[in-house]
Structure 1
Amino acid sequence: MISGEESYKAEAVDEDCAYSVFVSYIEIYNNYIYDLLEDSAEDLIKPKWNAGGTPVRQNTEFIPPQSKLLREDFNHNMYVAGCLELEVRSAEEAFQVFWKGQKRRKVANTRLNRESSRSHSVFIIKLAQAPLDADGDNILQDKNQVTLSQLCLVDLAGSERTMRTGAEGTRIREAGNINQSLLTLRTCIEVLRENQLCGTNKMVPYRDSKVTHLFKNYFDGEGKVKMVVCVNPKAGDYEETLVKL
């Protein structure tokens, strides 16, 4: 539950309810979803020994994190299955969790950016509100009276032109997946706009990208979407800026 000190900072708090805040942090890398808060495991493997009694392999091996799957709940809301959610009791705790995940994001050096994001990231904040009993001591155990709100802070990796970034090998593959997901986002927005303005009922290709599939409910009107575009005012970046706008 939120600490008393933190609750005083909020406006319009119902004193007859209890509140809890949960946070999670994921990244979408090469169209796969990874949990940035999940600690990587080590697989204990029996060492192999040579004739001289010397181990030829360490008894532990690093196991890379497993990608997560998108699921749909009974209310048709999309969520990341198996994603770790941590309860936080203050803004300071939330920032600590955020920076823990931020350090694990995939970044790489390119010709234009020394720490270029190679993935899209989503920091999710969930607020749960539940009514208290008449004495104000216990939470009523009725899930139908629990209200959930969610705020997603999304950092989209920027579109790239390999001629300018000097990307090679893995960086080219990453750039291709970044650009494709951004193109899908643009296509979804254009189809939604056409459906609204022309009264058509074209299918929106949400499933073509994990980013748009995860947030399909927001685009369908069950939430609000705000976008901030980062551009460079230099004349040399005019074409890049024009594409983004």
Structure 2
Amino acid sequence: MTTARMLLVEDDAALAELLTFHFEREDFLVQHTPDGEEALLFARETPPDIVLLDWMVEGLSGIEVCRRLRRAPDTANVPIIMLTARGEEEDRVRGLDTGADDYVTKPFSPRELVARVNAVLRRVRPALAGAELRYDDLVMDTVGHKVRRDGQVIPLGPTEFRLLRHFLEHPGWVFSRERLLDAVWGHDAEIESRTVDVHIRRLRKAINAGGRTDLIRTVRSAGYALDSVQ
């Protein structure tokens, strides 16, 4: 995996230190500032590969920083993930409309955030993300078409592999059966939604064998998510 440059804009010193630790452990080069104006200067001097941007920071607001990064030619295509305690739907929509690629509400798991950052980088900077998808002790080699958990190979059928890959690319996201059908089977597939339940059971049985922690969370009336918090 090629080292990725991250610009972290966060005015909570303790959280910034925690995130810096987690991302440097994953071989990111992290540049941190608590100030929106300084963030724009840093981004102009050395455009990062990804920006983690708190909504409420010193100086310029995160929303305004996001807007200006999108307007500048050198940073117009840099992925931005917003971090915020604001969880209302209209706030999330506003952040995404401003140009954010993803939106994470506090409190969050640093491990999930690392996975989300890697998922965004895979979509927009494939060379930075490498060929591995990871969550917890689960590792997928997308080139070798192999899955391991805690170092042990997990045999999966083609559909379960595609299903797991979709979850690994969107950790923590809840997907309805209909959205999973579209993503894994395709828009034209004439398959009943209960088919998803069958493949989820097969996937669960495979990756949770041996009494391991269940990494697939069922959300009543909503769908499924890759999430170790049950």
Query: Is the TM value for this pair above 0.5?
Result: no
- Smaller-chain TM-score bracket: under 0.3
Q: TM-score, normalised by structure 1?
A: 0.22
